[in-house]
Structure 1
Amino acid sequence: MRDQTIFDVVVIGYGPVGQSLSILLGERGYDVAVFERWPSLYPLPRAVFHDHEIRRVFHAMGIGGEVAAISQPSARYQWFNADWKTLVEIDWSAESISDGPVGYLFNQPSLEALLDRKAKSLGSVSVNQGWEAIQLRELPDYCEVTLKRSEMENGVWVSSGETRTVRARYVVGADGANSFVRKAMGIAFEDLGFQEDWLVIDLKPHEGVKLDVPDIGQWCNPARPTTMVPGGPGYRRWEFMRLPHETREEMQKPEKVWELLSKWVTPDQATLVRYALYTFRSLLAEKWREGRVLLAGDAAHQMPPFMGQGMCSGLRDVWNLIWRFDLIFKGIASPDLLDGYTPERRPQVRAVIDASIAMGKVVCTSNAEEAARRDQAYLSGSVPPLPPFPGLTDGLIETAQNSASGGIGGLLSVHGQIENDGEVMRYDDAIPNGFHVIALDADPERYLDASSRALLARIGAQTVGVTCDESQAVAGRVLLDASGKYRAFMAEHGAAAMIVRPDYYVFGAVGALTDLPRLVHALASRLALAEETDGGAAHVQRVEARA
């Protein structure tokens, strides 16, 4: 069967990355077909952590409150040696730049069920489970994907013999580590050298049971490196590294599972949810776009789990793509805008993988002498702290302000509470998503000339002022910075005004408001804008903050 409809995007893979991409496209009214080889959602836990940036994305998807209901704020992330002395401590409970704690723990089946309901509620999203992609062709004007139908019979996945072919302007492979899409495009992985086997165990403590275990931590014990984390409300996870003398088969026996858990929990205290042996690896696709085909999530990158950034990185891929697709489908930008996807995402993910590997080497030490040297280095304070979370260092950022050299361009922008006309709310709930021109203590529109207003109008940008001075607040135009975060962030970087991208990263800033038109033109020159066909745009969107 050949479907003559040409979708805007076909998504291959229906995990959290494919689900989120489908939702974000569908909410913008684009025609999306998503295909997943398995007939139902994966029922067992995998990812357990998302950070403040991803929580903000969930809010943008309209599910922030629902995600909060299935999550719990993180405690301090602690790394102990064999004697329970603290080697490293990362305060994931601290206030983040995004308004709220740095991290959250959740149960992935609960999250996938929530995303599934959201995706299937959108009329422009077609969810097709039980369809495996078997052929991919890129043609000049669209792609063709051929899929075969399969069903589960007595626990076995069996092809029904039915096939169909669909067309789309773009195809995104969000189909995991063994990505069909990546292989079909002949894209190779770069192996960054980390590989260790770990047994991952999820369980649900019985009601009233309180376990004597660190809330979230790594026990860097060379006799048995061990991870202990919440698995979302009501769940716990342990991860045990396979030692050199142990076989993979041995690690997956039920008696071995309870033997490893015996120090912490017994069968009469908890129900075993699942256990599986995983090989933690560090892989990075050499490129993430080939013409009309793109990769996202584990199809593009895999990393050790020690920084909790696997799923987060996949959702950043989606968030980076969505505004590009939006401008292209609206005819505002040319397809060349997608050229910035790999240069922006790959270096950031590479930095995250490098940090994950570095932390993995701290915990994955099974040699007692090496562990003793490691402990001495950390306990003496001779090991430098972890670097800050990486921003963007290439792509659509003001070149002279690159975050790689200490500038504001490419940094994740601040988010906090604002007050508008007496009502306090999240900034994102007050201002529609898109490009934002944010000025401190002023209405930025006063400093825009006609051409910069026209450019901002063309890309649907918003202009807004923020202030901590109540006397300067103007309802709907200059909002009161109730959290003080905007003033602090902009003062730290010497910014009188800044342009923030739809994915919340800073394009660039100016130290004087009179320089704002120049910054607007710099943005426009980098956006791969399409040729105008309507005689030009009207006026820039003046923010009417939602009350």
Structure 2
Amino acid sequence: MTDSHIHDVVIIGYGPVGQSLAILLGERGYDVAVYERWPSLYPLPRAVFHDHEIRRVFHAMGIGEEIEAISQPSAKYQWFNADWKTLVEIDWSAESISDGPVGYLFNQPSLEALLDRKAKSLATVSVNQGWEAVDLRQQADYCEVTLRRSHNENGTWVLTDETRTVRARYVVGADGANSFVRKSLGITFEDLGFQEDWLVIDLQPHEGVKLDVPDIGQWCNPARPTTMVPGGPGYRRWEFMRLPHETREEMQTSEKVWSLLSKWVTPEQATLVRYALYTFRSLIAENWRERRVLLAGDAAHQMPPFMGQGMCSGLRDAWNLAWRFDLILKGIARDDVLDGYTPERRPQVRAVIDASIAMGQVVCISDPEQAARRDASYLSGDVPPLPPFPGLTDGLIRIEQNSADGGIAGQLSVHGQVRNDGEVMRYDEAIGNGFHVIALDADPDLHLDRETLATLARIGARSIGVTRDESKVVAGRVLYDVSGKYQTFFAEHGAKAMIVRPDYYVFGAVDTLSDLPTLAGMLTSRLALSGEPDRSAEGVGALEA
């Protein structure tokens, strides 16, 4: 059966990345159909960490409060040698640029259940579970995806003869490491060389049980490299590296699991939730777009878990795609705007993978002599600190202010509390998502000409001022910077105004307000806008009435 209806977007895969993209597009009213080969959500934990940037994405999805209920702020991330001396300490509990701690721990089944409820509550989103994509074809104006129904046969899900073909303007493959979509496009993975087997164990301590373990730690013991982290509220996770003399089969028995855990916890103290042997790899797709089809999440990249960035990177993919699709589907921009997706996401993800590999190479040392040399280097202070988290270095940014060279363009923008008309709130609650023109101690609209205002209005941009000077506050236009974070951010970069993209990355900045129209022109000239601007606009707008 072929459905002649053409969806805006079809998403293949319904893990956190596919779920999130469906929500981000569905919230904007777009016609989205999601197809997932498994008939129900995966019930066991996988990812356990998300960072402050992803927390902002969850708030933008309207589920910030619900996320707080199923997660907990991170503690310090510590690496110890075999003698429990601290080699590295990364303070994930510290205040981040995003108004809150750097990281959070969560239970993935709880997260997926929350995302599932949200996606299925949206009138324009259709979630279809138990359908596996088996064919993909691109036409001039749309794509066709053929799917085959699966069912349970003696505990195994098998394909049936029932098929359906659906059409969409765009298709996103968020269908995991073995992505059908990626393979159907003939896109290959670049292998960056890291490969290690680790046994991942999740358990739930019994009520009242207190375990004597580091809150978040890597035990860099050459006799058995080990990871210990919370698995979200009420859960704990251990990860043990498979040693060269051990077989994959012997690692996956309950006897082996409890033997490895015996130093910290016994069966009388906790319930085993699951255990599985994973091969941690470092792979990245050469290209993430082929005409009307795009890749996201594990379909585009896989990385070792030592930075906790696997799922986070996939959610950044969805976040990056959402605002691009929004411009296209509204008819504001041509689909050339998708050309920036791979140049922006691939270098950032590649940098994260490289950092994850470097961290893994420190942890995954099983040779005692090599471990002793590592320990000596770290304990003597000879090892430089980890580099800052990478920003965007290509795509829709003001290249001469590139974050790769220490500039503001491509950096994640600051976020904090603001006060408007006596009420204190998050900035992203006060000002809706979209392109933002933000000025320090001024109303940006007063420094933009009529034509620039009209062009910015076309892309749904909003303008707002922030200030620490009470005398400059104007209700709905210039908001009070409660924490001083905005003032500090502008001062650090010598900026008076900046333009921030819908995904919270800085497009660029100016050091004098008279240059603001030029910066706005740089942005709109790069967006592949279609049609003519509405020159009747009086202003870009800030708070909606």
The answer, yes or no, to whether TM exceeds 0.5 is: yes
Which residue number corresponds to residue 38 of structure 2? 38
TM-score, scaled relative to structure 2: 0.99
- Answering whether residue 515 of structure 2 is matched by residue 515 of structure 1, we say yes
Which residue number corresponds to residue 197 of structure 2? 197
Tell me how far apart the structure 1 counterparts of residues 22 and 152 of structure 2 sit (CA, whole Å): 25
Match runs of 1:524-543 below 5 Å: 524-532=524-532, 536=535, 538-543=537-542
- Answering whether residue 157 of structure 2 is matched by residue 157 of structure 1, we say yes
Tell me how far apart the structure 1 counterparts of residues 431 and 513 of structure 2 sit (CA, whole Å): 21
Secondary structure in 2 matching 1:212: coil
Taking structure 1 as reference, are residues 535 and 309 closer, same or farther at Cα in structure 2, changes over 3 Å only?
closer
Match runs of 1:5-404 below 5 Å: 5-404=5-404
Secondary structure in 1 matching 2:72: strand
Tell me how far apart the structure 1 counterparts of residues 51 and 541 of structure 2 sit (CA, whole Å): 31
Secondary structure in 2 matching 1:47: coil
Amino acid at match of 2:268: D
Tell me how far apart the structure 2 counterparts of residues 196 and 525 of structure 1 sit (CA, whole Å): 46
Is the CA contact (8 Å cut-off) linking 2:416 and 2:485 kept in structure 1? yes
Is the CA contact (8 Å cut-off) linking 1:457 and 1:537 kept in structure 2? no
Tell me how far apart the structure 2 counterparts of residues 370 and 201 of structure 1 sit (CA, whole Å): 27
Q: How many Å apart are 1:158 and its aligned residue?
A: 2.3
Tell me how far apart the structure 2 counterparts of residues 454 and 321 of structure 1 sit (CA, whole Å): 25
Is the CA contact (8 Å cut-off) linking 2:445 and 2:540 kept in structure 1? no
Q: How many Å apart are 1:537 and its aligned residue?
A: 5.8
How far does the alpha carbon of each residue in 1:252-303 deviate from its partner, in whole angstroms, 9 at most, with x for none? Answer: 1111010000001000000000000000000000000000000000000000
Amino acid at match of 1:344: E
Secondary structure in 1 matching 2:56: helix
Tell me how far apart the structure 1 counterparts of residues 536 and 189 of structure 2 sit (CA, whole Å): 43
Tell me how far apart the structure 2 counterparts of residues 523 and 535 of structure 1 sit (CA, whole Å): 17
- Give percent identity, aligned residues only: 81
Q: How many Å apart are 1:42 and its aligned residue?
A: 0.2
Q: How many Å apart are 1:13 and its aligned residue?
A: 0.2
Amino acid at match of 1:538: A
Secondary structure in 1 matching 2:9: strand
Amino acid at match of 2:115: L
Is the CA contact (8 Å cut-off) linking 2:451 and 2:535 kept in structure 1? no
Q: How many Å apart are 1:399 and its aligned residue?
A: 1.3
Secondary structure in 2 matching 1:311: helix
Secondary structure in 2 matching 1:305: coil
Is the CA contact (8 Å cut-off) linking 2:455 and 2:534 kept in structure 1? no
Could you tell me which runs of 5 or more consecutive residues in structure 1 were left unpaired when the two chains were aligned: none
Tell me how far apart the structure 1 counterparts of residues 207 and 153 of structure 2 sit (CA, whole Å): 35
RMSD of equivalent CA atoms: 0.9
Tell me how far apart the structure 2 counterparts of residues 404 and 139 of structure 1 sit (CA, whole Å): 38
Taking structure 1 as reference, are residues 422 and 509 closer, same or farther at Cα in structure 2, changes over 3 Å only?
same
How far does the alpha carbon of each residue in 1:300-340 deviate from its partner, in whole angstroms, 9 at most, with x for none? Answer: 00000000000000000000010000000111111000000
Tell me how far apart the structure 1 counterparts of residues 536 and 131 of structure 2 sit (CA, whole Å): 43
Secondary structure in 2 matching 1:393: coil
Secondary structure in 2 matching 1:307: coil
Q: How many Å apart are 1:153 and its aligned residue?
A: 2.8
Is the CA contact (8 Å cut-off) linking 1:499 and 1:509 kept in structure 2? yes
Secondary structure in 2 matching 1:46: coil
Is the CA contact (8 Å cut-off) linking 1:283 and 1:303 kept in structure 2? yes
Tell me how far apart the structure 2 counterparts of residues 154 and 203 of structure 1 sit (CA, whole Å): 28
Is the CA contact (8 Å cut-off) linking 2:199 and 2:240 kept in structure 1? yes
Tell me how far apart the structure 1 counterparts of residues 538 and 507 of structure 2 sit (CA, whole Å): 22
Is the CA contact (8 Å cut-off) linking 1:54 and 1:315 kept in structure 2? yes
Amino acid at match of 2:347: P
Is the CA contact (8 Å cut-off) linking 1:457 and 1:539 kept in structure 2? no
Tell me how far apart the structure 2 counterparts of residues 528 and 376 of structure 1 sit (CA, whole Å): 54
Is the CA contact (8 Å cut-off) linking 1:460 and 1:540 kept in structure 2? no
Tell me how far apart the structure 1 counterparts of residues 482 and 389 of structure 2 sit (CA, whole Å): 26
Q: How many Å apart are 1:535 and its aligned residue?
A: 5.6
TM-score, scaled relative to structure 1: 0.99
Tell me how far apart the structure 1 counterparts of residues 490 and 298 of structure 2 sit (CA, whole Å): 35
